[in-house]
Amino acid sequence: MLIAPEFDSRPVISFQQVWKTYPNGTDALRNICFTVPEGDYVFLVGASGAGKSSLIRLLIREEKPTRGRLFVRGQELGSLHRRQLPHFRRQVGLVFQDFKLLPRMTVHENVAFPLHALGESGRVIAHQVGAALETVGLAAMERSYPDELSGGEQQRVAIARALIHRPRLFIADEPTGNLDPATAWEIMQIIAHINATGVTVVMATHNREIVDVMRRRVVAMEHGQIVRDDRRGKYDEAYPAAALRR
Amino acid sequence: MKLIRQLLFAASSAWQNFWRNLAVSVAAVMSIALILMLAGTSLLLGHALGQVLDSYRHRVSVLTISIADNTPLPAVYDFEGQLQARPDVVSVRLITKDEELRTFASDPRNQQIIEQIEGNPLPAKIEVSVAHLDDIKRIDALARQWRGADRTDPTDYQGDFVTNMLRLSTWLTIAGLGMLTVLTVASVVIVMNTIRTAVYHRRDEIELMKLVGATEWFVRGPFVVEGVMTGVIAASLALGLLLATYRPFVDRFRAELFFLPLAYDPRFVPVLAQDLLVAGAALGAVGSYVGVRRFVRL
């Protein structure tokens, strides 16, 4: 049995016996049970195919659980109507390994894009984009296009875009996967800063060094199951997986 | 206010996307323009045929009844009154023998005959206009039963011609509707696939829009506006080409087939322009809406 760490604050994320089975019969997630309290910083670790990406897809409601219930900020995602999705996604900041910037838009336009979707005024957009770019240290590059930026700078633009709605939950899927070690640490410092403002962070990663140095909560996955959940964990601590499976 | 800002953003995105994906935009414009050219050509042909048919229809919807010379005038007035009272008759006109002779004599081709005839051999006539072509057969039957009608040549009813006209008119209407249906279905499918190709190239952009909290309509809006824009540009192109060829074509046709009452009709140009522009905008909008639907669904 997995023991979720004890926290006083209410959970931002709550997986309750969640299963995800794909149409071909593969169980991508098996009986996932864990909670993430407000302000927590969680690393999701595990080999490729362990279920990290499936878990993140459920968290951003790209997919629904096959069984079980998943709550994010009190909303059960399985029963969320299509029309409620845009509102839900505006509460979550998302960052991906491949940045997902729109190549034909400038830095400013990329960051402003979610605000245009809300029909915000030019004044509000200018103010919020300026603040978000300030946070990631790219205020001077707002007129540049993504292909004029380094990988680290592109990821910082993506982070600024994720922060534009001032989310309380920040989800990053391998945000340092395409970056060199020095740049990866710059990104981690920005994410740590975001977490320090009270934003809950969930980050899937393969980067052993980062996990081991940061010493935050580590949720390790294997074959669609959570095999370890340590309050101040390391990437590679001896998995109790073998024991669990026995 | 937010809605207006979102609409403006959709319009400006559509404009930018149109130019940024110029190759695909040109392909879409060309395919819609081609379809609208076909539709416009069929509209023009339909209108021209309509003109010809209307002209013939007008001619054959007037039945002329020849009156026997010895018919008493009260009997003629009585029959004229009977005809006027019928709901299927639009107008009745009595043409006296003298009037008929004057008309005959006024034609220069008849000068030689006029010099040779003695007295007035031409009969008085009753000219009856009917509301619908298919009413003329009944009036003809009535006229032939009337005692005052000239026995040798009671009316100028051209039974086969009228029947054929009615048949041709019906078939042309059916063929026109069939062609319009085929063109509409083909054009929606072509436009939908062209726009779907354009959308497929931008699926990552759409994916991202959805992930950052854009509503389905916010994602779809620029594509639909872009579709309308593409459709209107294509319609303008098709209209320009059709108008450039319409008049020369009619002139050439008239020179070759002078006996057909076909004429260039400037009053039809605004109708054609309106039809093509509305059809282009509608095609673009529907094609984009359907083409983008699969990718936009949250």
Q: What is the pLDDT confidence band of residue A245, given thresholds at 50, 70 and 90?
A: very low
SS (H, E, C) B102-113: HHHHHCHHHHHH
Q: What is the pLDDT confidence band of residue B57, given thresholds at 50, 70 and 90?
A: confident
Across the range B8-17, mean pLDDT stands at 80
Are the Cβ atoms of A117 and B205 closer than 8 angstroms?
Answer: no
Across the range B101-127, mean pLDDT stands at 85
* ipTM score assigned to the predicted complex: 0.77
Are the Cβ atoms of B212 and A161 closer than 8 angstroms?
Answer: yes
Question: Does the pLDDT value for residue B162 go beyond 70?
Answer: no
Instruction: Indicate the range of A108-117, A150-159, B133-142, B253-262 predicted with least confidence.
Output: B253-262
User: In chain B, which residues have their Cβ closer than 8 Å to the Cβ of A90?
Assistant: 212-213
Question: Does the pLDDT value for residue B239 go beyond 80?
Answer: yes
Comparing CB atoms, the residue among A102, A117, A165 nearest residue B205 is: A102
Across the range A24-40, mean pLDDT stands at 94
Say what the pLDDT of residue A238 is: 52
**In this structure, what DSSP letter does residue A166 have?**
-
User: What residues pair up with A92 in beta bridges, in sequence order?
Assistant: A169
Say what the pLDDT of residue B286 is: 86
Q: With an 8 Å Cβ cutoff, is B85 touching chain A?
A: no
Q: What are the DSSP E strand ranges found in chain A?
A: 11-21, 27-37, 41-45, 67-72, 75-76, 92-96, 169-173, 200-204, 217-222, 225-230
- State the smallest CA–CA distance between residue A153 and chain B in angstroms: 19
Say what the pLDDT of residue B260 is: 67
Instruction: Indicate the range of A25-29, A233-237, B164-168 predicted with least confidence.
Output: B164-168
pLDDT digits (tens, 9 = 90+) for A80-104: 988 899 989 988 999 999 999 988 8
Q: With an 8 Å Cβ cutoff, is B205 touching chain A?
A: yes
Say what the pLDDT of residue B261 is: 67
Most confident among B43-52, B79-88, B193-202 (mean pLDDT): B79-88
User: In chain B, which residues have their Cβ closer than 8 Å to the Cβ of A89?
Assistant: 210-213
Domains and CATH numbers, chain B: 2-57+164-296 (no CATH), 62-131 (3.30.70.3040)
Q: How far apart are CA B208 and CA B212, in angstroms?
A: 6
pLDDT digits (tens, 9 = 90+) for A44-69: 999 888 999 999 999 999 999 999 99
pLDDT digits (tens, 9 = 90+) for B87-104: 989 999 999 988 988 888
- State the smallest CA–CA distance between residue A22 and chain B in angstroms: 18
Q: Which amino acid is at B54?
A: D
Say what the pLDDT of residue A188 is: 94
Q: How far apart are CA A234 and CA A43, in angstroms?
A: 9
Q: What is the pLDDT confidence band of residue A35, given thresholds at 50, 70 and 90?
A: very high
Across the range A28-50, mean pLDDT stands at 93
Say what the pLDDT of residue B67 is: 92
Q: How far apart are CA B86 and CA B148, in angstroms?
A: 19
Question: Does the pLDDT value for residue B273 go beyond 90?
Answer: yes
pLDDT digits (tens, 9 = 90+) for B14-33: 887 788 778 878 888 888 89
- Which one, of A165, A70, A149, A69, lies nearest residue A111 by Cα? A165
Comparing CB atoms, the residue among B6, B211, B218 nearest residue A89 is: B211
Say what the pLDDT of residue B298 is: 61
Whole-number mean pLDDT of chain B?
Answer: 84
Q: How far apart are CA B54 and CA B276, in angstroms?
A: 24
- Which one, of A230, A223, A191, A231, lies nearest residue A54 by Cα? A223
B112-129: b (≥16 Cβ within 10 Å) or e? eeeeeeeeeebbbbbebb
Q: With an 8 Å Cβ cutoff, is A124 touching chain B?
A: no
Q: Locate tokens 């030689």: which residue?
A: B112
Say what the pLDDT of residue A9 is: 58
Across the range B218-241, mean pLDDT stands at 90
| C-alpha gyration radius of chain A | 18
| CB contact at 8 A, A33 and A15 | yes
| CB contact at 8 A, B275 and B231 | no
Say what the pLDDT of residue A198 is: 93
Question: DSSP letters along chain B, please?
Answer: -HHHHHHHHHHHHHHHHHHHTHHHHHHHHHHHHHHHHHHHHHHHHHHHHHHHHHHHHHHHTEEEEEEPTT--HHHHHHHHHHHHH-TTEEEEEEE-HHHHHHHHHHSGGGHHHHHH--S--PPEEEEEEESSGGGHHHHHHHHHHSTTB-SSS-B---HHHHHHHHHHHHHHHHHHHHHHHHHHHHHHHHHHHHHHHHHHHTHHHHHHHHHTT--HHHHHHHHHHHHHHHHHHHHHHHHHHHHHHHHHHHHHHHHH-TTS-----TTHHHHHHHHHHHHHHHHHHHHHHHHHHHHH--
Q: With an 8 Å Cβ cutoff, is B208 touching chain A?
A: yes
Q: With an 8 Å Cβ cutoff, is B20 touching chain A?
A: yes
User: What residues pair up with A218 in beta bridges, in sequence order?
Assistant: A43, A230
| CB contact at 8 A, A93 and A171 | yes
User: In chain A, which residues have their Cβ closer than 8 Å to the Cβ of B211?
Assistant: 60, 62, 89, 94, 100
Instruction: Indicate the range of A16-30, B92-106, B197-211 predicted with least confidence.
Output: B197-211
Q: With an 8 Å Cβ cutoff, is A86 touching chain B?
A: yes
Q: What is the pLDDT confidence band of residue B157, given thresholds at 50, 70 and 90?
A: confident
Q: What is the pLDDT confidence band of residue A2, given thresholds at 50, 70 and 90?
A: very low
pLDDT digits (tens, 9 = 90+) for A131-182: 999 989 999 999 999 999 999 999 999 999 999 988 999 999 999 988 898 9
CA angle A145, B21, B198 (to 5 degrees): 120
Number of Cβ within a 10 Å radius of residue A15: 24
Say what the pLDDT of residue B259 is: 67
Sequence-distant (≥ 6) Cβ neighbours of residue B282 within 8 angstroms = B231
Most confident among A149-163, B109-123, B130-144 (mean pLDDT): A149-163
Distances (CA, A) of B44 to B57, B265, B281: 19, 10, 20
Residue B12's closest chain A neighbor by CA?
A116
Are the Cβ atoms of A116 and B6 closer than 8 angstroms?
Answer: yes
Task: Provide, rounded to the nearest whole percent, the portion of chain B with pLDDT above 70.
Answer: 97
Where exactly are the structural domains of chain A? 102-165
Say what the pLDDT of residue A213 is: 92
Question: Does the pLDDT value for residue B284 go beyond 80?
Answer: yes
Phi/psi region, residue A119 (left: phi>0; alpha: psi -120 to 50; beta: rest), is left
Residue B20's closest chain A neighbor by CA?
A104
Residue A83's closest chain B neighbor by CA?
B215
pLDDT digits (tens, 9 = 90+) for A195-243: 999 999 999 998 899 999 999 999 999 999 999 999 888 887 655 544 4
Rounded to the nearest 5 percent, the helix, strand and coil shares of chain A are 35, 25, 40
- Which one, of A38, A55, A71, lies nearest residue A198 by Cα? A38
User: In chain B, which residues have their Cβ closer than 8 Å to the Cβ of A169?
Assistant: none
